[in-house]
Amino acid sequence: MNDAPHALDAGPPHAATVVARTQESPTIFTLRLRLDDPAAQAAYRFAPGQFNMLYLYGVGEVPISIMSDPEERDGIGHTIRAIGRVTQGLAALQPGDQIGLRGPFGNGWPLQEMGGCDVVLVTGGLGCAPVVSVIHYVLRRRERFGKLVIIQGVKHAEDLIWREQYDRWAKLPNTQVLVAASEGGALWPWHVGRVTDLFSLARFNPERAVAMMCGPEGMMRAAADSLLAHRLPESNLYLSMERNMQCAVGRCGHCQFGSAFICRNGPVFNWGKVKTLLGHRGF
């Protein structure tokens, strides 16, 4: 996790232009951004699991994880749900529009330490965004990893974005895709129920596996219980945390979780570091 590129980028942001916009679901969209300064764009590096602060003119900033692959050169990908003042404004952007970007921030997933391991990804809701960069990362470097197990849970069937991608991933060798919706729907091909129902179907070697989780904290707690019960060592269980990050450089105090500044010490944590506080509501 220490290899994540770090820039102390407290602002002002760098001007960036929307190069592509994709509507993923009625409320979820993806923006591909390119820094306007060609030298800054060429120098921009990040690790899967890190995030950027996106600035909408006159409105403010939001932390958004990076979903593209570090080696992709056609823009920095951000998948966003239009839910607040800034994200609803970002949703109206079109290619050619300009915004501000600071980052990348935080650490990344410990991908360097996972060579040869089975990779288990557990996500809930839009939690798949920080983890989809890991999927791309593993698929591009397939020979370095063992089995890839993708476990995704959503509340409603229509919340599942990248449905075709899940279908495509499911057909790949050595790759297992397990999807559950709490509420299914017409033509829902996957499981109806909780994401934790899926662990008994997952095929991986717990002694040589690393699990990464992202999504609602209740879901991650339940998933952690299941994974640990399946004998995954606690040291191989990681999660990405979310809080109200405003400065992204460990100053403003909003993202503190116990003594951690999630923007700086996280957002990726080993389960052992956060499990105690995750057991209490209100931190």
Partner 1 sequence: MLVGQLMQQGYQCFGPGVENGAIVLHELATPDAIPRGLQAVQSPGRYQLTQDPEQRYFAWANGPQAIKPLAFAPTESLWRVARDASGTLQFSAVLPAAPKRALIGVRACDLAALALQDAHFLRAGARDAHYAQRRDALLLVAVQCAAPAATCFCASTGDGPTPTAGYDIALAELADGFVVEAGSARGQHVVDALRLSPALAQHIDDARKQGESAAAAQTRRLPGRNLRDALMSQLEHPRWDAVAARCLACGNCTAVCPTCFCHAEVDQPALSGESSAHVREWDSCFGESHGHLHGFNVRPDIRSRYRQWLTHKLAGWHDQFGRSGCTGCGRCIAWCPVGIDLTEEVAALTAREATP
Residues that bind partner 1 (CB under 8 A): 8, 10-15, 55, 57-61, 81, 83-84, 87, 97-100, 242-244, 246-247, 249-254, 256, 258-259, 261, 280-283
Rounded to an integer, what distance in angstroms lies between the CA atom of residue 265 and that of residue 242?
12
Q: Compare residues 165 and 256 and give the one whose CB is closer to partner 1.
A: 256
**Minimum CB distance to partner 1, residue 15 (Å):** 5
**Minimum CB distance to partner 1, residue 259 (Å):** 3
Rounded to an integer, what distance in angstroms lies between the CA atom of residue 58 and that of residue 99?
10
CB atoms within 10 A of CB 273: 17
Let me know the angle formed at the C-alpha of 240 by 18 and 223, rounded to the nearest 5 degrees. 130
**Minimum CB distance to partner 1, residue 56 (Å):** 9
Q: Compare residues 38 and 173 and give the one whose CB is closer to partner 1.
A: 38
Q: Compare residues 99 and 268 and give the one whose CB is closer to partner 1.
A: 99
Structure-token pair, residue 55: 């600035």
Q: Compare residues 94 and 200 and give the one whose CB is closer to partner 1.
A: 94
Give the phi and the psi of residue 62 in degrees, each rounded to 5: -140, 145
Q: Are 139 and 71 in contact (CB under 8 A)?
A: no
**Minimum CB distance to partner 1, residue 260 (Å):** 8
Element (H, E) at 18: strand 14-23
**Minimum CB distance to partner 1, residue 54 (Å):** 13
Q: Are 50 and 67 in contact (CB under 8 A)?
A: no
Q: Compare residues 12 and 173 and give the one whose CB is closer to partner 1.
A: 12
